[in-house]
Structure 1
Amino acid sequence: EVRLVERAFGIGPSALTEAMGMLNHHFAAAA
């Protein structure tokens, strides 16, 4: 997950936002 965040920072804020959205969706589905 850390690598994903670092990669998102390298790509741009939009990628970071998308990554966070995916993580939130994953945790919401797991809950």
Structure 2
Amino acid sequence: MVKHIDPDQFREIKVVFYLQFNLFNKNCDI
């Protein structure tokens, strides 16, 4: 049985992932 993920929770996860990715890119910038 697959657990249902509500859109709000999914959006939060996407936002966190996006912020982490941006931080990583900034740290890797030369």
TM-score (norm 2): 0.65
Is the helix fraction higher in 1 or 2?
1
How large is the RMSD of aligned CA atoms in angstroms? 1.5
Q: Which has the higher contact order (CA 8 A, sep 6+)?
A: 1
Structure 1's consecutive aligned runs of 4 or more residues displaced over 2 angstroms after TM superposition are none
Where in structure 2 are the equivalents of 1:12-31 lying within 5 Å? 12-31=6-25
Q: How many residues align?
A: 23
Structure 2: unaligned runs, 5 residues or longer: 26-30
> Percent of pairs identical after alignment?
17
